[in-house]
Amino acid sequence: MNIKSIEYFLITVEEMNFTRAAERLYISQQALSSHMQRLEDEYNVKLFERRPSLHLTLEGQQMVFYGQQMLEAEKKMRVAFSDISENCRGVLRIGISRLRGSLLIPPIWSFYHKSHSNISVELVDGNTNSLDMLLQNGKVDLYFGIDVPAGPHLQRVELAREKMQCCMSQELLERFHPDDWQECLFSFKKSISLRQIADMPLITMRQGNRLRNIVDSAFACDFKPQIVFECDQQDLIYSLAKQNAGVGLLSPVVLYQNLNEIKQQRDTFHCFPLTDVPEVVLYLVYHNDLPLPRFAVDFVQTACLMFRNYSRTINEHFS
């Protein structure tokens, strides 16, 4: 039995298309067909019917059931073996967005690597939806995600609760509220909503992003915002807001990254938590039906420890 062939078979079943499955596996269609033929020869069965369209045979349906069990058993065996020796080598595959990874992984790694120098960490970039799919497919061992729904086979560890922020320069505020900017500033410090800045130029993430969806939902009823710039980079939104280009709408992770600069410019650059949009919850997510190796459990504990400081800081300065 070839475990890799079983894995390739299950991916092919998910796609039900040899071309797409081969592309997803980064192998040629010919190589994928060879793996399927190998399974059929080994078990003396036919797994697929190709007419009128590609579909599983009865034997193929059984192969799905037993193949999934084989892969799960193989993973559990590897976990058991990896924990036998404290000096074992291992690879931990972690899913996280580019922004959060660049900011939050270095302090976690610095602490974790001291006691796990034999463990290699592989970061995989992506948003919550794509990372959840990678977890289901066994491509990552755990991931950091936003507002991950509960699932029967998922373990969610809450790390932080974040409120969407708006940031603007003093110059921009005075330009749009020349007669009452001081009153506006005082009011904004107490409470500010998206509707209160609807007449100001807004800089946001592009449509389809989770933060942008929240903004669009808030304006969906009777307000049409003046969006002057949209992009995929929150750090760019922050930079443009500093240059008086508009009001930046972003998550507190960017402000946390620039906390010292924001403190120094508190009289010329302002950040306010938006009170009329729901907060988001950051989770660390992994399978609960498959035991994590000891080195992965230690990473989870280290991440929770490091995120306490992040959560405490954003609650203190950006809530």
pTM recorded for the entire structure: 0.71
CATH code assigned at 46: 1.10.10.10
Query: How many C-beta neighbours within 10 Å does residue 36 have?
Result: 18
The pLDDT value recorded for residue 1 is 57
CATH code assigned at 229: 3.40.190.10
Domain edge (last residue) among 40, 65, 81: 81
**Residue 175 sits in the same domain as residue 241:** yes
Domain edge (last residue) among 21, 46, 81: 81
User: Given the DSSP bridges, would you call strands 154-162 and 201-205 parallel, antiparallel or unpaired?
Assistant: unpaired
Residues spanned by the domain of 244: 165-273
**Residue 200 sits in the same domain as residue 293:** no
Tell me how far apart the alpha carbons of residues 77 and 8 are, in angstroms, rounded to a whole number.
20
**Residue 169 sits in the same domain as residue 150:** no
**Residue 77 sits in the same domain as residue 95:** no
**Residue 114 sits in the same domain as residue 260:** no
Tokens of 261: 């600069």
Q: Are 294 and 83 in contact (CB under 8 A)?
A: yes
Average pLDDT per block of 10 residues along the chain, 319 residues long: 85 92 90 91 91 90 89 73 59 92 90 88 92 90 94 91 94 93 91 88 91 82 81 94 95 92 92 90 90 87 90 88
**Residue 152 sits in the same domain as residue 220:** no
In the chain, how many domains are there? 3
The pLDDT value recorded for residue 114 is 87
Residue matched to tokens 């967005």: 97
**Residue 212 sits in the same domain as residue 269:** yes
**Residue 67 sits in the same domain as residue 90:** no
Please state at what angle helix 58-82 crosses helix 3-15, rounded to 10 degrees.
130
**Residue 151 sits in the same domain as residue 182:** no
Tell me how far apart the alpha carbons of residues 92 and 78 are, in angstroms, rounded to a whole number.
13
The pLDDT value recorded for residue 79 is 63
The pLDDT value recorded for residue 68 is 87
**Residue 286 sits in the same domain as residue 149:** yes
The pLDDT value recorded for residue 140 is 93
Q: Are 164 and 250 in contact (CB under 8 A)?
A: yes
Domain edge (last residue) among 81, 101, 120: 81
**Residue 288 sits in the same domain as residue 193:** no
Backbone conformation region of residue 285, classed left if phi is above 0, alpha if psi is from -120 to 50, else beta:
beta
The pLDDT value recorded for residue 84 is 46
**Residue 288 sits in the same domain as residue 265:** no
